[in-house]
Structure 1
Amino acid sequence: MISFQRTENLSASALMTYENMRSYYEHYAVDWDCSKIEEQIRDLVNFDLLLKGEVVGAIRLAFDNDSCYVRDLQVSHHHQNKGFGAAALAECERLAINSGTNRLKLRVFRISPAYKLYIRSGFVVDSEDERFYNMSKMLS
């Protein structure tokens, strides 16, 4: 069973993001390293995805008056395509609704297979550029 807890180790969480995203960074010639990722996530609302006590993913959120931004959603390579991403999105929705926001927003690399998960989960493309889709979903 999947559970969620506040992130205890930001360095390990940043490393997971770097390892998962490295091919995208290289594809788009983005110069990122773990220390930059850790610096960027420090002020976000960070949660670990746990499977039987083992950290298998991360979600990172930011909030404004009416929206919750999914700044990052990671699932370790060994646990991808097993429903953990969908469970993480459901948790993002729950956290957003509990905070009083009515919309989830995110940005995803155009070449990322996660795009299909977001479409299946009810997100729509609001805008796009050469690298990213900016997507959102209204919450009930």
Structure 2
Amino acid sequence: MTFQLRQATSENLTFSRNLTCQNMLRYYIQHDLLWQDEAFDIAWSGRENWLILRDDVKIGFFSLSRDARALYIRELQVAEAFRGQGAGSWTIDQVIEITRKERRPALRLTVFENNPAKNLYQRKGLQVQGKDECFLRMQLDLRTPVL
């Protein structure tokens, strides 16, 4: 079982939107938030998007953004049928490597506080930095210690 990444194109927008809605709608409902396709589409267009493939089958995607302080995972979605098979863990490893290669001081993400994915992020070294309403802000500090 081999995972690969491929840069997403506008042709992958519908797949990514539908997967995100399918995976996240229950959290939106639980936290009384409104899912909007248009908001997803606008955010998608301003991010770097990647498909996660297994044997050339699309099983998920992730979206990145950047500033001087960090690389940000804005979305990381794996189709339910492929969860628990290492795709999420492998993807986090790939993003950590991108963060290191770009010499960014940190990798950051936000996750619903009741989303079990937070456990994966913690196993990968991300630590909770704060809480906003129903979200946890998490970070992996990659700064080189000064000796």
TM interval, short-chain normalised: over 0.9
Which residue does the alignment assign to 1:5?
6
Which residue does the alignment assign to 2:116?
113
Match of 2:24 among 15, 21, 24: 21
Which one has the largest radius of gyration? Answer: 2
Point out where structure 2 has 5 or more consecutive residues left out of the alignment. Answer: none
Equivalent residue of 1:86, what SS? Answer: helix
Match of 1:127 among 105, 125, 130: 130
- The alignment yields a C-alpha RMSD, in angstroms, of 1.2
**Aligned runs of 1:84-123 on 2, under 5 Å?**
84-123=87-126
Taking every aligned residue pair, what percent have the same amino acid on both sides?
A: 26
Shift of residue 66 of structure 1? 2.9
Equivalent residue of 2:100, what SS? Answer: helix
Shift of residue 65 of structure 1? 1.0
Point out where structure 1 has 5 or more consecutive residues left out of the alignment. Answer: none
Equivalent residue of 1:63, what SS? Answer: strand
Equivalent residue of 2:58, what SS? Answer: strand
* Equivalent pairs, count: 140
Shift of residue 110 of structure 1? 0.5
8 A Cα contact 1:125 1:135, kept in partner:
yes
TM-score (norm 1): 0.94
8 A Cα contact 1:66 1:102, kept in partner:
yes
Spell out structure 1 runs of 4+ moving beyond 4 A: none
Q: What is the identity, as a one-letter code, of the residue corresponding to 1:98? A: K
- Distance, in Å, in 1 between the alignment partners of 2:53 and 2:8 is 10
Shift of residue 74 of structure 1? 0.6
Match of 1:72 among 70, 75, 86: 75
TM-score (norm 2): 0.90
- Distance, in Å, in 2 between the alignment partners of 1:135 and 1:83 is 20
